[in-house]
Amino acid sequence: MIERTLCIIKPDAVAAGNTGNIIAHIQKEGFRILGMKMVALSHKAAAKFYEVHKGRPFYDGLVDFMSSAPCVPIAIEKESAIAEWRRVIGATDPAEAADGTIRKLYAKNKGENAAHGSDSVENGLREIAFFFTERELADLA
């Protein structure tokens, strides 16, 4: 089944100049890019986006990090996009990520891990809607 998911090229990867490399990786893996933009999240917007993690020990640091510099949200789709994108980005900790994954190639550490991936179809749609209106998404079907 074709699914949509959200990729975010995180501030560490943008600052390191890896945006183009990650976009090329997305395309090489057969994902269709439906929408993409560079944004600077306010602290309030980052807190709202990651509110599902509120109360977890990493939440405050994640919100601070994601609002520290620009990031690039990208709406993508593919057959089984959720599982496929999570495979492509690799484990949260780049030291544990498989060779060739985005996090193994471009992440600094577990906190600054280059890319975000939605964890479910429902969250993927919710996360895409956070950054994009339907009008902003290319209908490639």
User: What are the C-alpha distances in Å from 140 to residues 4, 18, 31?
Assistant: 12, 26, 12
Q: Which residues are catalytic?
A: 116
Distance CA 69, CA 55 (A): 23
Residues 6 or more apart whose Cβ sits within 8 Å of residue 57: none
